[in-house]
Amino acid sequence: MLAIFNSAERQAATLRVALIGKKLTGLAIDESVAISPKLGSVVEEVRVFGREIEIIFDDLVVLRTKLQFRGMWRIFRVGDWHKRSRDQAKVVLEVEDRIAACFKVVEIETHHDFDPRRHPLLGRHGPDLTDSKTDLELCVDLMLGYQDADATIAEVLLDQRVMRGIGNVFRCELLWTCELHPWAKVSSLNRDECRELVTIAAEMLQSQHATRDRSLAVYGRHGKNCDRCNGQIRVTHHGEANRVLYWCADCQTRHAGTSSSRYVTEHDTPPGVHPAEFIYLSELERTRKSG
Ligand SMILES: [Zn+2]
């Protein structure tokens, strides 16, 4: 066993290092839940509220565990994982090289994350880019007519009212493929550029079965070198949910000049630091300031 931690914050920090950016390869939940995380989905965030820990997947399924006094998450290396632990665990999440298991948890719940930009009830859905018959021109019109002129391309790609099918991992990869600065204003793109972006997105999403396991160009590659320009991949976290965004500042320069004021370099994870650790330290800092 790698670690036993008592405080929920510490458990969450350990879970982040072990799970964020990795694909779910195995799952067992010892209770019936409303929605099950899907195998192949990627762990995007781990949040903590008191003794509750939430694990958020890139399709926005949230797994919430209420730990109360005795509940705890533990991380195992694959070779250290035994049947006895499996029998006692209430939740088991397997990724490539680690197994996260939760014991003595009192309540397990799953739901879809509530993000107003991505929530279907707050507006009409945009076209589904995973559907080959979808209307891409409508998507282009919705981008060109986007009401918030200061909104960034990175934000609009996740706005379900404009287009559907793009998760956070895919968003990072798409921005890199198109060499777009993530914080460029959506209003700086002309019709041809919007069309190019949604066409490439649709092609990539619709061929995802063939490319499910293709290696990622930027996501999870913080501090590594960019395959295109040899620059260093950076990661920044932003928004209330601390969603991470990986990108190459050296070659993702299209429309960089229009970069929105929402791009703040202080949210960049410094080289050599794990983004999960940086988020944890930033949260501690904020807690100290507010306390
Ligand atoms: Zn690059």
Residue 4 has pLDDT above 60, yes or no: no
Please answer whether residues 173 and 165 qualify as being in contact, where contact means their C-beta atoms are separated by less than 8 angstroms: no
Query: Helices marked H in the chain — which ranges?
Result: 8-19, 83-88, 136-144, 153-156, 168-177, 191-206, 208-211, 275-290
User: Residue 86's pLDDT is what?
Assistant: 84
* Residue 10 CA, ligand 1 centroid: distance in Å: 34
Pinpoint the residues of the chain covered by CATH 3.20.190.10. 3-112
Residue 78 has pLDDT above 70, yes or no: yes
Pinpoint the residues of the chain covered by CATH 1.10.8.50. 120-290
Residue matched to tokens 């969603």: 243
* Residue 92 CA, ligand 1 centroid: distance in Å: 37
What residues contact 140, with CB distance under 8 A and at least 6 apart? 191, 194, 195, 198
Query: 120-290 domain in CATH 1.10.8.50?
Result: yes
Element (H, E) at 100: strand 98-103
* Residue 11 CA, ligand 1 centroid: distance in Å: 34
* Residue 172 CA, ligand 1 centroid: distance in Å: 13
* Residue 246 CA, ligand 1 centroid: distance in Å: 11
Per-residue pLDDT reduced to its tens digit, 229-241: 999 999 887 654 5
* Residue 77 CA, ligand 1 centroid: distance in Å: 33
Lowest mean pLDDT among 114-118, 156-160, 284-288: 114-118
Q: What is the mean pLDDT of residues 93-109?
A: 90
Cβ atoms within 10 Å, residue 48: 20
Cβ atoms within 10 Å, residue 92: 18
Fold classification of 3-112 is N-terminal domain of MutM-like DNA repair proteins (3.20.190)
Residue 266 has pLDDT above 70, yes or no: no
User: Residue 240's pLDDT is what?
Assistant: 44
